[in-house]
Structure 1
């Protein structure tokens, strides 16, 4: 799995509103491990993908960037890393549990 960390600086309330509008357009079933936090100076998002290739394919697309921009999430600082470990709902999220959640296991 792969993790990306997005940091948007600006009005935290406006960024949260835009984020919530964006997330309303993305099915919850697309997310195995995803979190967003309001910070004193903006918004911080943690998102996981099944692989680095999937991360680049999704977030590198003009369509996805336009969707983020449409909701005021522009010029964020993005970092991506191989995931070492992840936990959700008191359980470890692994490749096997990812596949089960996605209906592939």
Structure 2
């Protein structure tokens, strides 16, 4: 699994409704693991893909550009973070 990041500049409160519109337009099961984080510069969306090659193809593709525009999101700065070595979700103590 490969982790990438999409950095959207602006005010997080203004960008969040557009991010939700983007998610609503995705087919069921399209997102495996995604985190949306408000930052001082806007929103950063951490997203996983099965491989680096798939992330590169998707993040640079026309389909994503069109979906972002339709949702009202600006084109992001894209970062290839790296291969996921381990993850923990929902640990209770």
Shorter-chain TM band: 0.7 to 0.9
Which structure would you say has the larger RCO, counting Cα contacts within 8 Å and 6 or more residues apart?
2
Mind listing any 5+ residue stretches in structure 2 that lack a counterpart? Answer: none
Q: Which runs of 5+ in 1 are unaligned?
A: 92-105
Structure 2 CA distance for aligned equivalents of residues 39 and 82 of structure 1: 20
Give me the TM-score of the superposition, normalised by structure 2. 0.81
Runs ≥4 in structure 1, deviation > 6 angstroms?
none
Tell me, in whole angstroms, the C-alpha distance in 1 between the residues paired with 2:28 and 2:6.
Answer: 19
CA RMSD, aligned part only?
1.9
Equivalent position of 1:21 in the other structure: 21
Map 1:5-44 → 2, pairs under 5 A: 5-44=5-44
| Aligned residue pair count | 91
